[in-house]
Structure 1
Amino acid sequence: GAGIFKSLLIAAVALGWVAKDNPTYLTLATIPDAVFYFLPLLVTFTAARRLGVNIPLALGIVGLLVFPNFTTLIASGASVFGVTVPVVSYGTQVFPAILTVLLLWAVEHWVTKITPAPIRVFFVPLVCIIVVAPAMIFLLGPLGFWLGSLLTGAMLWLHATLGWVAVALLAGVLPFIISVGMHKAFIPPTVATIAATGRESFYNVSSLAHNISESGSSFAVAFRTKNPTLRATAISAGVSALFGITEPALYGVTLQNRRALIAVITGAVTAGAYLGLTNVASFVAVGPGLASISMFVDADNPWNLVNALVGAAIAWVVAFVVSLVLWRDSASTTLRVLAENAAVASDASVDTLTPDIAAEARVELRSPLTGRVIPLSHVDDAVFASASLGEGVAIVPSDGRVLAPAAGEIVSLLPSGHAIGLRTDEGIEVLVHVGIDTVKLAGEHFDAHVTQGDRVAAGDLLVTVDLDAVRAAGYDVTTPVVVL
């Protein structure tokens, strides 16, 4: 959001609507700038939540890195017991915060275990501050800054050495990089490069080629397939990719279908080569797409935006045409998966199913938890939200009793107790996943009442979970219920 807002301000300057020294522009520009300047705190929040660390404590410690008094002090030569504090500018940095939260996680868990309960409320944070804060300002902060600088230098070197070839190659392999989450490693050096040089010509440009190619390939699949479910998924994923969000297209369409993936790679490499050869640069750290295309506005070079638009058009058209030519509906996509309709209530429409399988797909599932039902797409996890594991819903629970949604056999129960797999008598497999990332709790706060292989009736108690304790540990208790 901040990136798109900043790119729109840049576009307003380039179009002559406002001057850079105009008070209105200067004031509005501070809004996105503040987001990037305090990026260490945003990263601290998400890292602490992922690791189950005390979030206010983590923010309080890492906040020192961007505290004005501290930054002014180290700039003038601060020291502790005669040891000089390294002079580092931590605004827009990512790795110092991540390393600090990792250390805090270890210290907090260890101190909590050895501290008597009556004094934990003040003793644990006190020890954490005493141990972690000095380690951060003398070691972890400078180390994280060095790691970020190293990655930034590596990206700049690769681009400087291979030029447009590097852009094309990265665009072509991004589907695989994104699918395992490794694209996030490119974000810190990209932010740092823009902060240091004002522009970035490698990752953002490659991402533009890839994102739009995902859209083109998905729309071609929607045009060619006879599967109504795949068509609906492909249209939705194609629109999302057009606006820079590629996970739905990757997990829902292209990675599952080799021909569609070939089209994506072809479009991405072709467009990446054009964008690299024309030296297109981005000026804002934001995911490239239709909504953020103004990130390529260059007041000194109008052709930069034109070439970005041409490259995006090449990506979409090439991917669309190749996918259109190569696509063949396989047996797995021609037939509706029975489970896709088994997740809906018994009064749901199955008109799109063929008559011989419609009867098999009519399975009624009870809600395994008391709570509020939300769409699966609202879950804060790309795998569940994209329905790559299957269709379903999610429940924001108000009670920690997990019940069997139907009669059947417990076919999987992880030792952590947070995920239960049930196969109904009709052969439908249902996954109840209590919370997001709760596997990291290693069974803490979960109590299983069944074992793998048990036979259960609808409504039988499967697991009890202390929801308050899970929330206190920093985890989202939203529970996806998915038909695999």
Structure 2
Amino acid sequence: MSQYKALADDIIRHVGGKDNVKSVFHCATRLRFKLKDEKKADPETLKQHDGVITVVQSGGQFQVVIGNNVPYVYQDVVAAGGFQTSSNEEEEKTGVFNRLIDVIAGIFTPILGPMAGSGLLKGLLAILVALGLLTQDMGTYIVLNAAADALFYFLPVILGHSAAKKFGGNPYIGMIIGGALVYPAIVAMQGAGETLTFLNLPVVLMSYASSVIPIILATYVSSKVETFFNKRTHEAVRNFTTPMMALLIVVPLTFLAIGPVATYASQGLANGYSFLYGLSPIVAIAFIGAFWQVLVMFGLHWGLVPIVINNLAVVGMDTIVVGVLMATFGQVGATLAITLKARDPKTKGLGTSSSIAGVFGITEPAIYGLTLPRKKPFVFGMIGGAAGGVVGGMLGTAAYAMGGLGVFSVPVMIPATGLDMTFYGALIGMVVATVVSFGLTYVLHKEVAPTETPRVESAPVLTDHVGTPVSSPVKGEVVALDTVRDEVFSSGAMGKGVAIMPSEGVVYAPFDGEVITIFQSKHAIGLRSDSGVEVLVHVGLDTVQLEGQHFEAHVENGQRVKAGDVLVTFDLEAITKAGYDTITPVIVTNTGNYLDVLPTHVGVVEPNHDVLRVLA
């Protein structure tokens, strides 16, 4: 019998029994239950169990924190309860709004990078035309414009893949449905004003190039049709009969009903936004400039992404992107002020690198490393973003394609008519956002000297070589563990340690030892040193939701490692763009076996520098 069988039975009993469990999966440290009725669970009794660290009820999940042994406990829980193993992507979210945000993020995240690249190329072409270096009838322009415009024209095909994958359908069926919407013969009929019928039913011909909502709804319907036929056809013929039936039903249905209704809805959404923007362009962009970073922190910005894309497809322009640009430079200005006022060279170093990253649209190091912990500078950054938004609204600045972040979004704000005040409004707004937030922070924020910082006094740094050292597994800035926005880590329930804001996407071995656990999602890794110290490195918060996307493991369970060996690499920028906090807790999970675990470093750290000492 497994050593965790008794623990698994107790957990099932105290979550209200197996009949109270909708689903269960695990991340690096926790069993995440979705319960039918959380009132039937007994979290207090579970917290007292020797095998349970704590219990957290959050986001509609009943989370039982186990620690490094969670994969083994999970196996016994699944076996004891007869549950289906499930990935977190299949987990039902609580509430319509949460499910909507999850769907939007899942559909649009994979294409944002290529979409930004295509938008930048369109912006570059606009600059070359404005400078007279190219004309629209030149072969060079035509070829480059094809490269820049292809993604937007064939957007239904690309979204068909990602939407079908998100809804659990066949991605290639989704692509075929998208391809049918922009099929040349039908596009030509629509352009010529001809009529079309299907089984004597009139088809409303509309332009679906660059459209968003029709293909998303069509792939959702297709996923349901596929499920229906997969359950009712023999596996010997299922591989071709299900796709045939899905296409036979969904493509005509899309042309007859889904497409026209969704297109009218798209136009209504765009017209509604245009109406609100028309009431007060200044207030609209200023609001985005002020609160965009807050929306990103809570993952709510995904709700605006399809509106941006829909505005570009229907209206040909968007102003939300302008507010995002101003919000970015608001935080850059506040970070620059902190950097200039700081007397600590480590803060200056972090401020310099964070300011540069912010200019290119990556504000997380600035926010989580500098402005947000100091509170006032973050607010001043919001005020600066709003001020820049006022300028953009006054001068009618807008984006005409989906571009990159930071300064990379500026080229897509050049209108077809060439450089004018609407474009210069973007540049002026950036300057205003930076100057306002810089001035407020520099004048009103008091930067505390390192020797005066209460946190350093309450967590003294060891300077002599006592205890077992644990080197930093990532490059970045060390912050106190209690600043992590997850009580399982910040409370010390998992063990003592530190947290690091990574500045590069590499996890290194912090000592000589072995890999205890490398999770399937690759976002966390458990290690044991040759002296017995067990350490968990957990990259980001809730990054288990990515299911391994943007992570690559270079080791496996049981493998011997040397200090400095590369364990995991991850795409820091992509994870940040996906809306996840990348702060990385480094926890000694068997803290109870030692006299104490003390931090040995604060501020910027390299992978070969010690961050913890474990005292026996």
- Give the CA deviation at 1:40: 1.9
Q: Map Cα deviations across residues 260-281 of structure 1 (whole Å, 9 max, x no partner).
A: 3202211111111122122223
Selected match of 1:208 from 325, 330, 354? 325
Residue matched to 1:143: 261
Q: Distance in 2 between matches of 1:265 and 1:147?
A: 33
Q: Distance in 2 between matches of 1:88 and 1:286?
A: 27
- The structure richer in strand per residue is 2
Which amino acid in the other structure matches residue 38 of structure 1? Answer: F
Residue matched to 2:139: 23
Tell whether the 8 Å contact from 2:521 to 2:544 is kept in structure 1 after alignment. no
Residue matched to 1:410: none
Tell whether the 8 Å contact from 1:50 to 1:437 is kept in structure 2 after alignment. no
- Give the CA deviation at 1:127: 2.7
Residue matched to 1:163: 281
Q: Does 1:72 find its partner at 2:199?
A: no
Q: Does 1:126 find its partner at 2:228?
A: no
Residues 243-252 or 426-435, more deviating: 426-435
Tell me the SS of whatever aligns to 2:278.
helix
Q: Does 1:314 find its partner at 2:421?
A: no
The CA RMSD over aligned residues, in Å, is 4.4
- Give the CA deviation at 1:363: 3.3
- Give the CA deviation at 1:458: 9.9
Which amino acid in the other structure matches residue 437 of structure 1? Answer: L
Tell me the SS of whatever aligns to 2:397.
coil
Tell whether the 8 Å contact from 2:325 to 2:430 is kept in structure 1 after alignment. yes
Tell me the SS of whatever aligns to 2:237.
helix
Q: Distance in 2 between matches of 1:23 and 1:458?
A: 56
- Give the CA deviation at 1:194: 4.0
Selected match of 1:483 from 570, 585, 599? 585
- Give the CA deviation at 1:59: 0.9
- Give the CA deviation at 1:304: 2.9
Tell whether the 8 Å contact from 2:326 to 2:429 is kept in structure 1 after alignment. yes
Q: Distance in 2 between matches of 1:142 and 1:107?
A: 20
Gap change, CA 1:130 and 1:259, over 3 Å in 2: same
* Within-5 A mapping of 1:79-478: 79-200=197-318, 202-224=319-341, 234-247=351-364, 249-250=366-367, 253-287=370-404, 289-298=406-415, 299=417, 302-324=420-442, 325-326=444-445, 328=447, 335=456, 354-355=461-462, 362-363=469-470, 404-405=516-517, 429-431=536-538, 437-438=546-547
Residue matched to 2:112: none
Unaligned runs of 5+ in 2: 1-116, 477-484, 486-497, 508-513, 550-556, 561-581, 587-616
Which amino acid in the other structure matches residue 59 of structure 1? Answer: M
Tell whether the 8 Å contact from 1:152 to 1:190 is kept in structure 2 after alignment. no
Q: Distance in 2 between matches of 1:150 and 1:137?
A: 19
Tell me the SS of whatever aligns to 1:354.
coil
Q: Distance in 2 between matches of 1:337 and 1:39?
A: 55
Gap change, CA 1:307 and 1:364, over 3 Å in 2: closer
Q: Distance in 2 between matches of 1:23 and 1:105?
A: 42
Residue matched to 1:59: 175
Tell whether the 8 Å contact from 1:179 to 1:251 is kept in structure 2 after alignment. no
Gap change, CA 1:266 and 1:63, over 3 Å in 2: same
- Give the CA deviation at 1:27: 3.3
Tell me the SS of whatever aligns to 1:404.
strand
Selected match of 1:36 from 142, 147, 152? 152
Tell me the SS of whatever aligns to 1:362.
strand
Residue matched to 1:471: none
Q: Distance in 2 between matches of 1:225 and 1:429?
A: 32
Tell me the SS of whatever aligns to 1:40.
helix
- Give the CA deviation at 1:334: 5.3
Number of residue pairs aligned between Structure 1 and Structure 2: 404
Residue matched to 1:473: none
Q: Distance in 1 between matches of 2:364 and 2:244?
A: 41
Tell whether the 8 Å contact from 1:148 to 1:188 is kept in structure 2 after alignment. no
Tell whether the 8 Å contact from 2:499 to 2:583 is kept in structure 1 after alignment. no
Residues 34-43 or 256-265, more deviating: 256-265
Q: Distance in 1 between matches of 2:257 and 2:499?
A: 41
Residue matched to 1:443: none
- The structure richer in helix per residue is 1
Tell whether the 8 Å contact from 1:405 to 1:458 is kept in structure 2 after alignment. no
